[in-house]
Amino acid sequence: MTAKNKLLCKVRQYYFAMVDSSLYLDSHPICKDGLAYFKKYKKLYEEAKEEYEKDYGPLDFENGIKEDKWAWATEPWPWEGSEN
């Protein structure tokens, strides 16, 4: 597995943990442990996503600007598997 794929896998894992814990928090909104878990994985997700986008390009259109150009649709999509 390439470094790019490993990092993308981390982004996906952290995002899944965030979504999963947000669903738990919907029914347990005052659970301190659940909130701490969400915050932990939100931070890890943001760090991994930032690292991925810095090295390989945007993962979503919100961060589609790269070096004063619209990079969202001009570079390979993360799921295309291109090793450029």
Residue 23 is inside which H or E element, if any? helix 3-27
Please give the Cα distance from 49 to 72 (Å, whole number).
15
Residue 60: what pLDDT?
A: 80
Q: What's the average pLDDT block by block, 10 residues per block, for the chain (84 residues)?
A: 93 96 94 96 96 87 67 67 54
Please give the Cα distance from 17 to 42 (Å, whole number).
8
Residue 13: what pLDDT?
A: 98
- The answer for residues whose C-beta is within 8 angstroms of residue 35's C-beta and 6 or more apart is 25
- Nearest 5°: CA angle at 63, between 2 and 8? 20
List the structure tokens of 64.
């589609």
Residue 69: what pLDDT?
A: 67
Residue 59: what pLDDT?
A: 84
